[in-house]
Amino acid sequence: MELFKKIQLAINSIDGSEITEQRKEVLQPLIDHIQEKINRRKEIRLNFICTHNSRRSHLSQIWAQTLASHFEIPNFSAYSGGTEATALFPMVAQVLSEIGFDIHQLSEGKNPVYSIKYAENELPVIGFSKKYDHPFNPLSDFTAVLTCDHADENCPFIPGAEKRIPITFEDPKIFDHTPMQKEKYTERSEQIMTELSYVFSKIQHYGNN
């Protein structure tokens, strides 16, 4: 399966050496969980959760689905949600578009819906802000990946989740409406791409070496 060329080039240019040993320890539980699912030939459902489901959780969902396809991870689906619904922040869509995603806004209003494609012949990720228990998301047999400290601290129990794994990222929102806004959103997207690429690169398909 071929990704769009610009996305493929971005993935090929990843420098994993920038991931610290401390950060690898944070990522290891997700690696172990995905590997266990692969070994048992079970469905992998990751729901990336952040307070507003507007920035980090969307970036994580989109990159996870893209990289799972790149690394040919079977039976994989990525979702995102928040503790409340707001809207996908436009700078997220802009940054992803510039790196090669084919993005179309499907609806208007305060919480528009986006089609986000990473490959010509793959289903798009459908991006819009929602609570983590929205009917669009799985309601059981999923893994909750907490992408912000607030959600991690305030959601000790997530109904339906078989496991919760905190992998938090700095919020680019603090740079909104500043000259550094685009740079910081790009930086966060690249960090999430790099770290999730590291995660999926460690997976052995069906436990084979």
Domain boundaries, the chain: 43-169+178-199
- Whole-structure pTM value: 0.95
Average pLDDT along the chain, 209 residues, taken 10 residues at a time: 94 95 98 97 97 96 98 96 95 98 97 98 97 96 92 75 95 95 97 98 73
Give residue 205's pLDDT. Answer: 79
Give residue 154's pLDDT. Answer: 66
CATH architecture label of 43-169+178-199:
3-Layer(aba) Sandwich (3.40)
Q: d(Cα 27, Cα 102) in Å, to the nearest integer?
A: 28
Tokens representing residue 157 in the block:
């129990």
Give residue 206's pLDDT. Answer: 59
